[in-house]
Each structure stands twice: as structure tokens, then as C-alpha cells.
Structure 1
Amino acid sequence: MTDMHIDQKVLSDLREVMEEGYLQLVQTFLDDSERRLSQLRAARSAEELSTVAHSFKGSSSNMGAVALAGLCQQLEERARRPPLYGIEDLISRIDREFLEVQHFYRGEQQRILTG
């Protein structure tokens, strides 16, 4: 399951580079992601959607959440080509993918805290 959602190489590099800061990085990513999801749902313009999708894509990619980054990229590209009919489906897919990523990273937090 994980390999479809998370790039393990990126993850191991992050753990190595961040060391003690890794746990905080994970928490910041989860918090930021929830905020970005809210922003996507609340977006009222194509430009707003594109901007939020772009920043969400970047943070997801940095955290190794490859499938999530890919969906955000699709949304970013789609938002540049109005009209936006059917875009809710893409946002729902991003929501569902984030749940997978969130579940994985919550597991990472537990592993570190109980490790």
C-alpha cells in the first residue's frame, strides 16, 4: 500500500537530514495539509485553486507523498483551463489520498514516540 502513496527514498532522506526535527516536520506537514484542503474546498476562483494546489503539490512532494503531489499537479493544471466543471471530483480524490498519507504519517509519529 505505502509504495503507491509514499516514496520511501524521500522519506529515509528526510529522516536522515532532519534527525530530531523529523517529528516536528511531520506534524507541520499534517497541519499545513489540513489547512490547504480547507482552502481548496473554499476556493472561489480558478486562480485561488491553482495557487493552493501548487503549494500543496510542493509540500507533498517534499514529504514523499507522490500520489498526493500528482493529484495536486492535476488540479493545478486543470484550474488553468476553465470552466471548472467536475473539479469537485478531483478535490475529493485529493481528500481521499490525503487520508492515506495522514494515516501513514500518524503511524510514523507513533513509531518515533514509542520507538
Structure 2
Amino acid sequence: MTDMHIDHRVLNDLREVMEDGYLKLVETFLEDSERRVGQLQAAKSAPELRAAAHSFKGSSSNMGAMVLASLCQQLEERAQRPPLYGIEDLISRIDLEYKEVERFYRAEKARISAG
């Protein structure tokens, strides 16, 4: 169930504050997130990984994707303690969680567009 992936209080606040801009916010989040997932997977160094995780954490948190934000925070903290053995598992958990969040926001986008 998507509810465990998204904090709906944050979402409702965003809808109220953004009003007509909410659809654009959702679209921008989806586009940015695709890029951020790619950055995490392509990162060649701890600083790159930390920076990508930090920015993904912020946008996820702002959009109410709290589990995703928490995983990104774990990755950000982990990247501060090289060597990075076993970090692939965390990146893959982020990837899986993002797929859930993405599914929710794609449905949200379709719902708004249809409304």
C-alpha cells in the first residue's frame, strides 16, 4: 500500500499551498528524481554519492516520501565513512523505494490531469 511510502499530511499541505502549481511540482519531482537515481548509480566517489543522496533526500522529504528520504539520509551518512563496501545494497533499496514513490506520483499526476 502506498500510504506507507507517502506522508499524506505533507501531500495535503503541498496541494493547498501550491494549488494550480501542484501538477507542475509533481512533474518536476518525477523528472528530478529520475536524474538523481541515475546520479546515485553513476557516482564514482564518496563525495559524488553523498551530494546526490543529500539532494535526493531533500526533494523526497519535501514531497512527503519519508521512507525514501530516510534511505537517502542513511546513504549520505554511509558515504561519509569510506570504504563503501556494501553500499550497492542501500542504493538498490533506494531504487526500489523510488519505484513505489514514482508509481504513486504518476497516478497522482494522472488524477490531477483528468480532474
TM band (smaller chain): over 0.9
Residue type at the aligned position of 1:52: A
Q: Which residue number corresponds to residue 24 of structure 1?
A: 24
Partner of 1:41: 41
Aligned residues: 115
For normalisation by structure 1, the TM-score amounts to 0.98
The AA in structure 1 aligned to 2:73 is: Q
* Identical-residue share of aligned pairs (%): 75
2:94 alignment counterpart: 94
Aligned residue for 2:101, secondary structure, equals helix
Partner of 2:12: 12
- Counterpart of 1:71 in structure 2 is 71
Structure 2 spans left out of the alignment, 5+ residues = none
CA distance in 2, matches of 1:87, 1:24: 33
- What letter matches 1:11 in structure 2? L
SS at match of 2:64: coil
Gaps of 5+ in 1: none
Instruction: Provide the C-alpha distance between the structure 1 equivalents of 2:31 and 2:112, rounded to a whole number of angstroms.
Output: 18
When structure 1 is superposed on structure 2, of 1-10 and 88-97 the one drifting more is: 1-10
**SS at the partner of 1:95?**
helix
Q: Distance in 2 between matches of 1:88 and 1:30?
A: 22
Q: 3-state SS of the aligned residue for 1:75?
A: helix
How many Å separate the matches in 1 of 2:113 and 2:42? 34
**In the aligned structure 1, how far is the partner of 2:23 from the partner of 2:12?**
13
TM-score by length of 2: 0.98
Question: What is the CA deviation profile of residues 34-88 of structure 1, one whole-angstrom value per residue up to 9, with x for unaligned ones?
Answer: 0011011110100110011000000000000000000000000000001100101
